[in-house]
Structure 1
Amino acid sequence: MPEATVAVSMLRALLAYLGTQDLDTDALARASGLNREVLAHPERTVDASHYERLMQAGIVALHNPLLGLEFGMAAQPDRWGTLGFLLRHCATLGEVLSYQARFAHLVNAVGEGRFVEHEHHVALEWHSAGSQMPALVEEAFGAWVRFARWASGREESPTLVEFSHRAQGDPALYEAFFDCPVVFCAPACRLCFDPALLDVALRTPDAQLAAHLSDRVEARARAAGDRDVHIRLKAWLMQTIGNTTPELGRAAQALGLGERVLQQRLQTGGTTFRRCVDEARHELALRHLRDSRLSIGDVSHRLGYSEQSVFQRAFRRWQGQTPLAWRRQH
């Protein structure tokens, strides 16, 4: 599962919704660690903790534990940026689910909706990326149902909804919206429906535009995948350097990739394995040099250099001065 991130378009939509509830959205944004510069780029993604904090702040300010469900019930396609425009121009709900399964992580990776076909029904199953916050899965389920109804122009409903958490409010409110039985404290979170709904036509199909938007979203997905590999490789290097030799084969195995695939992903992202090792050593060097308990020799050893002189030359290349001179300045 990708790292837990959320598109800025989702944060902007949630802030706008909270604004309709007469809340101070500027104060809520600041409390969630957001600023105008971040919010100015709707297609970018940020750490999911901002979204969780914003949702929790809204729940507290409104004294409303059903905020997630209600926010989902008010979903519009522009909430999901380019992906939302792609979904609205699909031909059927089945096509929507196919794209959603492939690209939803670009918009909201706090959890993953997996499309599963059973003998007598199909289901969207929610798998959390870490947070167990009920409002997040309720928002996702509410948004999926709301979009299906909006895009098809039909008041279609699931056959069963299951949540692994307890009801956050009156269970009758859940059943009134989903228009089907809703079970709480279930083994998993699932939204079940009749397979016939996969063939339901949408109101605004446009095959040519959908193909164009699909190419754009696919390009974003590839770029996001390359960034994810780079982030995971850096984390592995930061843990490995000094303990064992950071070799390409070991790194690829740790990341669950082939060596050639890892090299290609890094190349696409404009870097190489050797450069990543060098950057990680540079960052670790600065971190260790701030610890006055470590000698220059200790730092050199922790970075995996066989000789201190090799570390000295590398540091001069990085910072334009010796490690000792840098330490005295910092």
Structure 2
Amino acid sequence: MIKVSSHSIRALVVYLSHLGVPLRQSLDLVGLDKASLFNEHSLLPTQVLESLYTFAEQNLGLKDIGFNFGQTIEPDRWSTLGYIAFTAPTLRQALQQQYKFQSLVGNLGSPFIKLQGEYTLINWVPAYACSHHTVEEIITGWVALARKLSAAPVIPEKVFFAHACQGDERVYEQYFQCPVLFSQDANGVLVGSELLEVPLIKHEPQLHDLLCQHAEQQLASFTEAVPIEVMSQYMINRLSVKVPDIEEIAELMNLSVRTLQRKLSDAGTSYSQLLDSLRKKMAMDYLQLEHYSILYIVEMTGFSEQSAFQRAFKRWTGMTPLQYRKQLLADKAG
């Protein structure tokens, strides 16, 4: 299951309270109590996050709440990972550590860094069919965090989103100080490569090392406690780049292939069955949102060709992806 840290939910609930939504109302809306909200190690279903965003859009008329919420980023929103980023030596290392330790604060998606000459492309690949609010919070949060930490001005070359613009494009361009493109093939930001190497003003070497050691210990405990969940998260986050084989996953988890296969068997599944079920769930989630093209969904689910995706989807549901999407739309309209 895709999950989000209670720290992120708590930050959003507090943000909504500043907009006039009482804390109790937000908690009742998503079926949480204060104990769950303030549990330091709790991971919550993404439906909690999406329900809060849907409520804000429908009842407060805020179609750009993720964009605005992202601008208010503070380290506690990402728990230990946030403080690791705040004390990192450079933005590049902060991003690399976000990728390494992100499962500790949920698995909404993954950052991928690609060098393009003098520029660096930083994509964010969602692990589920999230709302545009979630995407905008993540991308805007990156830029806001970089501006808090970098000794140099942080002005991207461009920012891009896969969804259509829901607000005023001029407001986005005013904040990011660069072209902002919507309805693109991916979500992310393009920056000058030198920006990622600029020293960060809050770098504290000793504290940073201690935080990373703590995160390593947490990650090891997490892997031991819920190995199938860790494996699933890694597969979801890697599918858009390359379908990971079992050897790669075993190495990540510091297990032998035979031990990992035994753990899968104990859970009543296998590598191929788990991969198939994850792809099915992701595809069905993505098809619920019209702005995701079939080609985009093919890429996100790790199929090399659209024809292979079509065959798999028909095996799962008895329908083609387009037929399934049309049925969803008809059910909503009815």
Instruction: Find the aligned partners of 1:126 and 1:14 in 2 and give their Cα distance.
Output: 20
Deviation of the 1:266 alpha carbon:
9.8
Instruction: Find the aligned partners of 1:204 and 1:256 in 2 and give their Cα distance.
Output: 34
Which of 85, 100, 103 is the aligned partner of 1:102? 100
Q: Is the 8 A contact 1:110 1:131 kept in 2?
A: no
Deviation of the 1:86 alpha carbon:
1.3
Q: Which residue of 2 aligns with 1:126?
A: 124
Q: Which residue of 2 aligns with 1:184?
A: 182
Q: Structure 1: which 5+ runs fail to align?
A: 235-251, 278-330
Equivalent position amino acid for 2:68 in 1: E
- Per-residue CA deviations over 1:152-209 (Å, capped at 9, x if unaligned) read 2543111111111111100001101111001111111121100010111111211111
Instruction: Find the aligned partners of 1:210 and 1:119 in 2 and give their Cα distance.
Output: 30
4+ residue segments displaced more than 6 Å: 252-256, 272-275
Distance 1:76 1:153, change over 3 A: farther
- Per-residue CA deviations over 1:30-68 (Å, capped at 9, x if unaligned) read 211322221121332122121111222222221101000
Distance 1:253 1:156, change over 3 A: closer
1:14 aligns with 2:12: yes
What is the RMSD of the two structures over their aligned residues, measured on CA atoms?
Answer: 2.9
Q: Is the 8 A contact 2:151 2:198 kept in 1?
A: no
Q: How many residues align?
A: 254
Instruction: Find the aligned partners of 2:143 and 2:173 in 1 and give their Cα distance.
Output: 13
Deviation of the 1:146 alpha carbon:
0.4
Which of 67, 71, 74 is the aligned partner of 1:73? 71
TM-score, scaled relative to structure 1 = 0.70
- Per-residue CA deviations over 1:209-258 (Å, capped at 9, x if unaligned) read 11110011122223333444334899xxxxxxxxxxxxxxxxx9699659
Q: Is the 8 A contact 2:159 2:190 kept in 1?
A: yes
203-212 vs 172-181, which moves further: 203-212
Instruction: Find the aligned partners of 1:199 and 1:145 in 2 and give their Cα distance.
Output: 15
Q: Which residue of 1 aligns with 2:256?
A: 261
Which of 30, 34, 40 is the aligned partner of 1:32? 30
100-109 vs 6-15, which moves further: 100-109
Distance 1:47 1:153, change over 3 A: same
Deviation of the 1:129 alpha carbon:
1.0
Instruction: Find the aligned partners of 2:205 and 2:58 in 1 and give their Cα distance.
Output: 44
SS at 1:106 equivalent: coil
Which of 16, 39, 42 is the aligned partner of 2:40? 42
Distance 1:126 1:231, change over 3 A: closer
Q: Is the 8 A contact 2:228 2:264 kept in 1?
A: no
Q: Which residue of 1 aligns with 2:58?
A: 60
Q: Is the 8 A contact 1:122 1:195 kept in 2?
A: yes
Q: Which residue of 1 aligns with 2:302?
A: none
In the TM superposition, 1:166-177 aligns within 5 A as 166-177=164-175
Distance 1:263 1:26, change over 3 A: farther
Instruction: Find the aligned partners of 1:93 and 1:138 in 2 and give their Cα distance.
Output: 19
TM-score, scaled relative to structure 2 = 0.69
Equivalent position amino acid for 1:84 in 2: G
Q: Is the 8 A contact 1:175 1:181 kept in 2?
A: yes
In the TM superposition, 1:133-282 aligns within 5 A as 133-231=131-229, 257=250, 261=256
Q: Is the 8 A contact 1:226 1:266 kept in 2?
A: no
Q: Structure 2: which 5+ runs fail to align?
A: 233-244, 269-334
Instruction: Find the aligned partners of 2:261 and 2:160 in 1 and give their Cα distance.
Output: 41
Instruction: Find the aligned partners of 2:5 and 2:49 in 1 and give their Cα distance.
Output: 9
SS at 1:137 equivalent: helix
